A and B are shown apart, each in its own frame.
Chain A
């Protein structure tokens, strides 16, 4: 089906482990984004990408790594998970100067 999908929807991991959240979109949008949502903070941008092989830091990039080898995929990796990275993560995609479309989110718990 067309759209933007995130996997997994739920993940529990241990402190210090590496974990990768997947994001796939079928619209061929040039822009893709990763946000985290925490109570009282709204959505904060972690990383974004303007095109394949072009990525840039957002507001809260520390502890995260992204790559974008293909236009449709934008995985987010937590290199060594910490409890402060427990959050809901949203991937989004969009075109220039207009709205972004959001996935259903991944609820990550670091224990």
Chain B
């Protein structure tokens, strides 16, 4: 079965500390991978995407993610977080041949504290 898993529902971190938000997927077909961010009462904004090529992708606001095909993971990282990074983060996957639909994980609430 095809699925997307974000095991951490909440991640608290102090400002200027590094953070990693985990995303794993299950699939028998090739995939396209995305991370979105949602600030309170707003829509979803694309942080970064992996379509092909280099497995390390860089996005907006200093975030990056690495596609690991053998571990079926696409973890999001930032070396030093800021208060303004407090938001909900969603991993999403397009499973090829499945109608171009984004399948989302359940989200990780990142809370940055002083």
**Smallest beta-carbon distance B68→chain A, Å:** 20
Q: Which interface class (under 10, 10 to 19, 20 to 34, 35 or more) fits A?
A: 20 to 34
Cα-based distance from A101 to B49 in the complex (angstroms): 13
Decide: B106 and A42 in contact? CB cutoff 8 A: yes
State in angstroms the CA–CA spacing of A62 and B6 once bound together. Answer: 26
Given contacts A99-B46, A103-B43, contact A58 B101 (CB under 8 A): yes
**Cα distance, A96 to B104, chains bound together (Å):** 17
B43 touches A48 (CB 8 A): no
- Residues of A84-111 whose CB lies within 8 A of B: 90, 92, 94, 96-105
Which B residues fall within an 8 A CB radius of A?
6, 32, 34, 36, 42-46, 49, 51, 90, 94, 96, 99-107
List 15 A-B residue pairs with CB atoms under 8 Å apart, sorted by A's residue number: A41-B106, A42-B6, A42-B90, A42-B104, A42-B105, A45-B103, A48-B99, A50-B99, A90-B44, A97-B94, A98-B49, A99-B102, A101-B46, A102-B43, A105-B42
